[in-house]
Amino acid sequence: MLKGCLNGDRGRDTHPAVPLTPAELAADAARCAGLGVGAVHVHPRTGEGVESLRPAVIADAVEAIRAARPGLPVGVSTGAWIEPEPLARVAAVRAWTVLPDFASVNAHEPGAEAVAAALHERGVMVEAGLWTVAAVEAYREWRAPVGRVLVECMAESPEAALADAAAMLDALPTGGPPVLLHAEGAGVWAVLGEAVRRGLDTRIGLEDTLCLPDGSPAPDNAALVAAAVAVGAR
């Protein structure tokens, strides 16, 4: 499965094609689904462009994407930078009026397992975000059910990102949930190729990189998805 990560915490100051509004997210999601993504991950914004977990903000983004592309699974982030207080993140999840299909929870963040448990209680599939081997070890102690593991490589070079990927994958328990392997920054395309080689899910989009495999600027999410599909077809 190839997931589209459409915006992350980026604004228009980093790329003019980053989708921010519900309508922009919906249009981008539909375009990327037409090119082959099997799900999208988005960071919904308020009208002022600020990431938020508020029920109305989540609902507007999720409903817009579902209207534009019925049946496409939609996921959101619960990152601590959006709402630093763990109890407030749990309360936000419990207040959602429209539920995404899945949501990511970074295992290294304070209160992560409580947020994961709240998502599970609401019927939202949990993606455990693992950035380090230490985070893998923390995740192994969770009791909250997880539907997918995100092995996320944040190193600043392709070589270091591939080494981090191997170390985290080796530390994961066997027989666990499906794994999605990806990177952010310079390691994106090397790690995407490694995910393809290993037969793992992966993702691509402006959240993770602004560049195509040859290093040239990506015009938009659709161009990144087309390039990733080409890598997978080799």
Q: What is the CATH number of the domain that holds 111?
A: 3.20.20.70
Q: What would the pLDDT profile of 14-36 be if each residue is shown by its tens digit?
A: 999 999 999 999 999 999 999 99
Q: What would the pLDDT profile of 182-217 be if each residue is shown by its tens digit?
A: 999 999 999 999 999 999 999 999 999 999 999 999
**Structural domain boundaries, residue 205:** 2-233
**In angstroms, rounded to a whole number, what is the distance separating the alpha carbons of residues 135 and 132?**
5
Percent of the chain predicted with pLDDT > 70: 100
190 in Cβ contact with 2 (< 8 Å): no
Please say if the pLDDT value at position 63 is more than 80.
yes
222 in Cβ contact with 180 (< 8 Å): no
Sheet (strand 148-153) strand order: 179-183, 148-153, 125-130, 102-106, 74-77, 39-42, 2-5, 202-204
Q: What is the pLDDT of residue 29?
A: 98
Taking residues 95-110, what's their average pLDDT? 97
pLDDT, averaged across the chain: 96
Tokens 């997918």, residue located: 148
Q: What is the pLDDT of residue 167?
A: 97
Grade residue 231 by pLDDT with cuts at 50, 70 and 90: very high
127 in Cβ contact with 149 (< 8 Å): yes
**CA–centroid distance for 18 within its chain:** 15
Q: What is the pTM of this model?
A: 0.95
Say which residues have a Cβ less than 8 Å from residue 194's Cβ, sequence separation at least 6: 162, 165, 181
Please say if the pLDDT value at position 233 is more than 80.
no
Percent of the chain predicted with pLDDT > 90: 97
How many domains are there within the chain? 1
Please say if the pLDDT value at position 58 is more than 90.
yes
Tokens 């999208």, residue located: 40
Taking residues 127-151, what's their average pLDDT? 96
> What is the torsional sign of CA 193, 226, 7, 157?
positive
